[in-house]
Structure 1
C-alpha cells in the first residue's frame, strides 16, 4: 500500500476519534470567553476533524505528484470524505447543534454526486472536482468546525458565525450538486441508452 492510500486510510480511522471526543462526555475542563464556552473534548474533536480534512488534499497531491494513483485510492478517497463529513453532521444533529434536514441535504448531495461519478466511471469517464465543488468542501469544513466549537469564540460577542457558514454551506452544496448534474447530463443520458 502506497503513502497516499495510507493517508486516506488514516483519515477513515480518524472518523471514530472525532465522534468519541464529540459525543462522549469526558470532563477534561472547558474554556470561557465572556459568554462563550467550549469544552476541551470539543476542541480536541475539532482539531482532529480539521487534521482529517486537511489530509484530503494531501493524499491527492502525493498520489498525483508521485504517480501513485491507484484504483484502491480512487475508491477510498471519496469514501473517506463522505464518512468524515457524514459522521460529523450526524454527530452535530445528535448534539442538537444542527437541524436534521440540513444534514440530510448535504449528505444526499454528497452521495448523489458520488453516484454520478460511479456511473461516469463505468462509462470510462472521469468527473473532476469543479471549482464550486472545492469551494463547497472548504465552506463545509469551516461550518462543521464552527458548529463543533459551539460558535466559540464568536458566541462571546453574539455573532452567529457558525449559522452563517452552515447556511452558506447548504447553498453552495446545492448549487455545486446542480452544477455537476447539469454539466454531466450526457453521462446519465448515455447510461440510459445502453
Structure 2
C-alpha cells in the first residue's frame, strides 16, 4: 500500500479517536479533538498531492479518498446534532447528497468507470472542513468563557445564529456540487 492510501486510511482511523475526544467532557478533550481533526484534514490535503506528484494515483485512492472525507465530515455533523449545535434536517440533506453521489460513483466503478472529484465537490469539502473547525473552536470558546463565567445567553444566541448561517452556506455548496456532479455525469445515470 502506497503512502497516499495509508494517509487516506489514517483519516478514517483518526475519525474514531477524534470522536472519542469530542464527546469527552472538559476543555482539554475539545482541544485534542480539534488537533486530531486538523491532522485528519491535513491527510486529505497531502494524500492527493503526494499521489499526483509521485504518480501514485490508484483506483483505491480515487474511491476511498472521498469516502474517508465523508466519514470524517458526517461523523462530525452527526456529533454536532447529538450535541444540539446544528439541526438534524441540515445533516440529513448532506447525508442524502453524499449517499446519492457515492452510489453513483460505486455504480460507475462497477462498470469500470472512475468518476473523479470535481472542482465544485472540492469546494464543498473545504467548506465542510472549515465549518467543522469553526464549530470546534466555538465549543472551546464556550467552555473557556463558561469557566470564567463570561459566557451568557447573548453569546449563545449570537454563536448559534452564526453557526446556523455557516451550515446553510455549506448546505448550499453541498447541493450545488451534487447537482453539478449529477449533471456532468448524466450519461452514467441514463
TM-score normalized by structure 2?
0.83
Q: Quote the residue 2:3 is aligned against.
A: 3
Counting helix residues as a fraction of each chain, which structure ranks higher?
2
Distance 1:130 1:79 in 2: 14
Q: Quote the residue 1:41 is aligned against.
A: 29
Partner of 1:149, secondary structure, is helix
Is 1:15–2:3 an aligned residue pair?
no
How big is the shift at 1:5? Answer: 1.3
Regions of 4+ moved over 6 Å = none
Q: Quote the residue 1:88 is aligned against.
A: 76
How big is the shift at 1:173? Answer: 0.4
How big is the shift at 1:180? Answer: 0.9
Runs (5+) with no aligned partner, structure 2: 143-154
1:74 to 62, 72, 75: 62
How big is the shift at 1:156? Answer: 8.8
TM-score normalized by structure 1?
0.81
How big is the shift at 1:126? Answer: 2.9
Q: Which moved more, 1:180-189 or 1:68-77?
A: 68-77
How big is the shift at 1:57? Answer: 2.2
Runs (5+) with no aligned partner, structure 1: 28-38, 190-194
Counting strand residues as a fraction of each chain, which structure ranks higher?
1
Distance 1:164 1:65 in 2: 37
Is 1:24–2:24 an aligned residue pair?
yes
Partner of 1:91, secondary structure, is helix
How big is the shift at 1:170? Answer: 0.7
Aligned Cα root-mean-square deviation (Å): 2.2
- Counterpart contact for 1:144–1:166, Cα < 8 Å: no
Partner of 2:138, secondary structure, is coil
